[in-house]
Amino acid sequence: MVQWRNEFEQQIFEVTHDRLRCTQLKTIQINLGFRCNQTCIHCHIHASPNRSEMMTESTMQAVLSATSKLPPVLIDITGGAPELHPSLQKFLAQFVNQGHRIQVRTNLTLLIQPKYQKLPKVFKDLGVELVASLPCYLEEKVRLQRGEDVFTKSIEALHVLNTLGYGTTSELPLTLVFNPLEPVLPPEQSSLEQSYREELGEKYGIQFTRLFTITNMPLGRFLDVLKDQKPKYIALLKQSFNPQTLPSLMCHHQVNIGWDGTLYDCDFNLAAGLPVSSKVPQQVNQFDPVALSTREIVTGEHCFGCTAGHGSSCGGALI
C-alpha cells in the first residue's frame, strides 16, 4: 500500500498516478540571503533588515562551479533583497561569462538609494532581466503590505528603469509582481495586467513588459499574520485545487540553491525547511545535474498554493 507523506502528495497521485517529479533543469533559483530593507507582511521567509543570513564567497564559488556544468539556463536571483549582497555585481558577471540568462528579483526601493543607484545601469550592461515586486497599483494597499513611502519610491525606481530601457524595449524585460493583501487567491492575471497598465501608465507614465500574479503561501510572516484565519485559508487553497496546473508547476524544471548551499525544490520549500529528496545530493558542492533533473519532488501542505485556481509560481499564473 502506498504511504503518503502528506495530503498534497496523495492528491497528486490520485490525478497523475505518480509522484511529482522534476523532468528537466531549466531554471536555477539562487537565494542570496534573508536580509532585506523591507519587512513585508506577505514574505514567506521572514526577510527583514534584522536578518543576517547571506551567501558566503565560498558558497558562491560552489554555485558557479555547479552552473558551469549546465547548458544555458535561467539564473533566477532572489532573497531577501539581492541588491544588499556586496558581491552581486561580480556574481552576475560570472553567470554572463558562462552563457546563462539572468533574472534578478527586486523590491525596487533600494535602486534609488545612493549606495545602490548604480545597479540599474549595471543590470542593463549585463543584460539582466528584472522582476519587480509591486503588489498593487494603489498607494494605500502597497503601504499596508510593505510600509510607508514604499509606493512612492517604487514609482521613482520604475521611472529610472524605464529611462534605461527596462519595460520599454524587448531586450530589457521588466516584469511586475502582484501579491494579494488579503488571504484570497489572486485575480485573473491578464485582466489585472491590463488594470496595471492603465493605472500606472495614465497616472505615472510607467511602462512594463508583463505582470505576474503570485499566490501568498501559508509560510513565514504571511502565516503569522493569518493567525486564526489559517484554517480557512488552507481550506481555500485545497478546495481550489486545479489539476490543469500540474504540468506547468515550476518544480518540474528548477532547483533552488539556498544562501548556505542547501538545495531545495523551490524557495517555498526553503522557507518550510524542506531540502530536496535525500535520494539526491542536498548540497551545492555535490551538485549532480543528472540526478537533480529526474528527482522526486518533496512536498508539503503549502504546495496547494501553487495548484489553486489559475495556479501560481515564481513565474506567475500557470493557466
Would 209 be classed as within a structural domain? yes
Would 136 be classed as within a structural domain? yes
Return the pLDDT at 1.
60
Percent of the chain clearing pLDDT 90 (strictly above): 92
> DSSP of the chain, one letter per residue?
-PPPSSHHHHHHHHHHSS--B-----EEEEE-BSB-S---TT-TT--BTT---B--HHHHHHHHHHHTTSSS-EEEEESS-GGG-TTHHHHHHHHHHTT-EEEEEE-SGGGGSTTTTTHHHHHHHHT-EEEEE---SSHHHHHHHH-TTHHHHHHHHHHHHHHHTTTTSTTS-EEEEE--SSSS----HHHHHHHHHHHHHHHH----SEEEE-PPPSSHHHHHHHGGGHHHHHHHHHHTB-GGGGGG-GGGSEEEE-TTSBEESSHHHHHHT-BSPTTS--BGGG--HHHHTTPBPP--GGGHHHHBTT---TT----
Return the pLDDT at 146.
82
Residue 129's CATH number: 3.20.20.70
The residue range of the domain holding 92 is 7-307
Would 89 be classed as within a structural domain? yes
| pLDDT confidence bin for 4, thresholds 50/70/90 | confident
Would 2 be classed as within a structural domain? no
Mean residue pLDDT of the chain comes to 97
Would 249 be classed as within a structural domain? yes
pLDDT in tens, 97-107: 999 999 999 99
Is residue 203's pLDDT more than 80?
yes
pLDDT in tens, 124-160: 999 999 999 998 898 888 888 787 899 999 999 999 9
Is residue 29's pLDDT more than 90?
yes
Domain count for the chain, please give it: 1
Return the pLDDT at 135.
87
When pLDDT is averaged across residues 79-85 and rounded to a whole number, the result is 99
In contact, 264 and 276? CB cutoff 8 Å: yes
Return the pLDDT at 113.
97
pLDDT in tens, 210-267: 999 999 999 999 999 999 999 999 999 999 999 999 999 999 999 999 999 999 999 9
When pLDDT is averaged across residues 171-186 and rounded to a whole number, the result is 95
Which one, of 33, 80, 81, lies nearest residue 60 by Cα? 33
When pLDDT is averaged across residues 264-271 and rounded to a whole number, the result is 99
When pLDDT is averaged across residues 22-28 and rounded to a whole number, the result is 98
Instruction: Tell me the β-bridge partners of 21.
Output: 296
Return the pLDDT at 125.
99
Would 1 be classed as within a structural domain? no
Would 54 be classed as within a structural domain? yes
Would 260 be classed as within a structural domain? yes
∠ CA 109-111-117, rounded to 5°: 145
Return the pLDDT at 144.
80
pLDDT in tens, 283-296: 999 999 999 999 99
Return the pLDDT at 147.
79
